[in-house]
Structure 1
């Protein structure tokens, strides 16, 4: 009985061994060997980490970067990107200079101010080709043109936001005939009448004013671009040292970012929804409105979208001229050349 049991166990063991051999080599004599699956890139071995510091909260003002991140365009370029939201207490120039971030987004006049203080910072792409700053008033105030600002109270956030307004006032000889007032980040002051005209960005505060219950027919707008006194706003910058040490990474970052901007411009509603899902700021409808207005600044009417990020040195020089004229505390005259506004990496990324 024991011998039969032992024989039975041995037969089971042999069958198991044969089955295992079949499963591991079945069809091996005739089947074409399949390639081993590609290893999934990992942050530590495949992707280069890069940190982007925004000027303000992560909403549709920065939709190109958010679209590129959410769609995987940075990963496609071998980049693990970290996007840091900005705020009133965050200075992109300092964070980039101190190494908290690799690349930052800021206004050109602000960048120039830090460059004049000796910060080794260079612009590498100009994302907004037009200024988004407006002066907004109720039609009942009688401000139908810049000349009508005489004797009026004008709101400004100051901190560099006033320079275009000063340029406008000087153009019309009104510097001594208006009262400049500290403005908050709502449109309540102009809505209630404590100021006559308020500063507003096309992509944010103008919409907030309409949300106060005013229709477009009840609002007058003065556009800095149309008046020829615009200063450049959102740009990308980094230190010269970082750019030189990370040439290829910077080019890849710009290429992915521009791809994100192109997609955002092609469908601003989708971009606005993506930004709302990313940041949850205000409402989806507001983010879509912002996206549509930001698109007009990145690629104004007639602008070639293959040149997104182009640095217009004439516009840079105008920004510098107004900055020198109206910022009396500027440490030195801004240097406007290839060391401070460097298109090399952008040209390589775009083929322009």
Structure 2
């Protein structure tokens, strides 16, 4: 009788264990088909609405629907996405296309797989009181730049308009607060449409108080946020990349359709700035990812003319030391499979 009880208890324990294991794995599977594939994404900067498409894809379960478990790593001033991906710390990275071209020139085995921002977000902003109504008016002025790879559109703007960056303007190191411009320490400063321009407005300035030079309108735009991978890892993980792109594109489409909600979610993830600023950022980023007249099904597509312009300006103004073969800088096969294009 004792043996029968022990046998029954053993069977019951085995059954409970099986149920627990089944429950455990159902929590990390896609439609019960198996374990999720882990993918790590390295951002270029701190968590903010600049990257809302990835956070929305994560929040809405788009990655999980594709069988992926995506970890999003924040960036920072001391983090280089190209280095993180090249060293295998991250599988996929977000960086500026101009920056990626520089590392590709160094021989790093990195390739762009999608161009998320279709337009440049770079502005040069001044107070109307500085009387900078055109690029020519920058002559003799004090102009702030972040440098560190962010200066080449400014150099191109000056050069295209016949100004020598070393003789005709006084370039100074720019901080990230816009206080230098607000206080009058500089006459003009760089600003991203989705971030620093918003800071100016939040600090009491009105759009009517400012003069803005848009790099797109000035014909010196260079491509910014893209997605890139290490070629070796990519060759062994094609399926994961395609699935990541499918989910990310859907995340961006969702975020751009309702930037207010996307900005709110990003704020809830990391309350480093105000809710209103994250919403402002989301609204402006949406205009870069899906500009007016742009087909949302083409989110992430790479415009070769814009890519070539980025490379040409990079060469002319000191980012690159030799002409880049842009056809070798990208691999569109993953995006095409993800979108069916």
**TM-score normalised by the chain length of structure 1:** 0.86
Are the counterparts in 2 of residues 117 and 331 from structure 1 also a CA contact under 8 Å?
A: no
Aligned mates of 1:39, 1:246 — CA distance in 2: 22
Could you tell me how far 1:343 is from its partner in structure 2? 0.8
**Structure 2: stretches of 5+ with no match in the other structure:** 1-21
- Is 1:351 the equivalent of 2:337? no
Distance, in Å, in 2 between the alignment partners of 1:156 and 1:37 is 54
- 1:156–1:181 contact (8 Å) kept in structure 2: yes
CA distance in 1, matches of 2:285, 2:108: 29
Cα drift, residue 172 of structure 1: 1.2
| Alignment counterpart, residue 168 of structure 1, candidates 157, 160, 178 | 157
Greater alpha carbon shift after TM alignment, 251-260 vs 182-191: 182-191
Match of 2:330 in 1: 341
Partner residue in 1 for 2:11:
none
Could you say if the C-alpha distance between residues 85 and 39 of structure 1 is closer, same or farther in structure 2, counting changes exceeding 3 Å? closer
Give the aligned partner of residue 55 of structure 1: 44
> How far 1:326 moved relative to its partner?
1.8
1:281-296 equivalences in 2 (<5 Å): 281-296=272-287
| Shift in alpha-carbon separation, 1:115–1:59, aligned structure 2, 3 A | same
The CA distance in 1 between the partners of 2:205 and 2:312, in whole Å, is: 36
Q: 2-side partners of 1:42 and 1:177: how far apart?
A: 60
| Shift in Å, 1:39 | 6.8
Task: Name 2:6's counterpart in structure 1.
Answer: none
Secondary structure of the 1:195 match is coil
Match of 1:223 among 214, 220, 238: 214
Deviation at 1:335, TM superposition (A): 3.0
Equivalent residues in 2 for 1:83-98 (5 A)? 83-98=72-87
Secondary structure of residue in 2 paired with 1:237:
strand
- C-alpha root-mean-square deviation of aligned residues, in Å? 1.7
Distance 1:113 1:56 in 2: 18
**1:303 and 2:294 equivalent?**
yes
State the partner residue of 1:205: 196
Q: How does 1:1-352 map to 2 (within 5 A)?
A: 40-42=26-28, 45-175=34-164, 176-327=167-318, 330=320, 332-337=322-327, 339-352=328-341
Alignment partners' CA distance in 2, 1:212 and 1:259: 35
Query: Per-residue displacement from partner, 1:322-347 (whole Å, max 9, x unpaired)?
Result: 1112226x46443311x321111001
Say whether the 8 Å CA contact 1:252–1:349 is kept in structure 2.
yes
Question: How many residue pairs align between the two structures?
Answer: 315
Deviations 1:184-216 (A, max 9, x none): 111111111111000000000001111222111
Cα deviation, residue 134, structure 1: 0.3
Which position in structure 2 is the counterpart of 1:27?
none
CA distance, structure 1, for counterparts of residue 74 and residue 195 of structure 2: 17
Partners of 1:131 and 1:301 in 2: CA distance: 14
Asked if structure 1 preserves the Cα contact closer than 8 Å seen for 2:315 and 2:321, the reply is no
Q: Which runs of 4+ in 1 moved over 6 A?
A: 36-39
Measure, in 1, the Cα distance between the counterparts of 2:308 and 2:86.
23
Secondary structure in structure 2 of the residue aligned to 1:105: strand
Does the Cα contact within 8 Å between 2:25 and 2:35 map onto a contact in 1?
Answer: no
Alignment correspondent of 2:7? none
